[in-house]
Amino acid sequence: MAHRKVVEAVDRSLRQNDRSMGGITVLFCGDFRQTLPVIPQGTRADEVGACLKSSYLRRDIQSVLLTINMRVRTGNNPDDRQFSDKLLKIGEGTYPQLHQGKLILTPELCCIVQSQPHLISSVT
């Protein structure tokens, strides 16, 4: 995720007649449920403050939620589909193993790896 100040700098460069981004349609891609901007030696509040959701531009951004993982949909591996469904449920807060907003890790959510070569063969 880009630091919000980067996006705000682009906005200031393009801004005309008080129109965000100079009236140009800009497409931002990302998942706010994943990684926040990294702030070296920063606190969680610093990371949240650096996020695009904390920008003055947020009021002008229209969010479009994509909920179908096309890579999984076109493949034939049922394990990939199950994993994708679990990730969506976790992100939506509807996964049954959530307790007080925290995920309870169960064995089927974990990848047990015996060695570095086993890890490499598991993810390739």
User: What is the per-residue pLDDT across 7-30, written as a single tens digit (0 to 9) for each?
Assistant: 899 999 998 888 899 889 888 877
3-state class percentages of the chain: helix first, strand second, coil last, to nearest 5: 50, 5, 45
The yes-or-no verdict on residue 101 having pLDDT over 80 is no
CA-wise closest residue to 1 among 43, 41, 54: 54
Over pLDDT 90: what percentage of the chain? 10
Q: State the Cα–Cα distance between residues 91 and 85, nearest whole angstrom.
A: 10
Q: What is the mean pLDDT of residues 56-79?
A: 77
pTM (2 d.p.) = 0.57
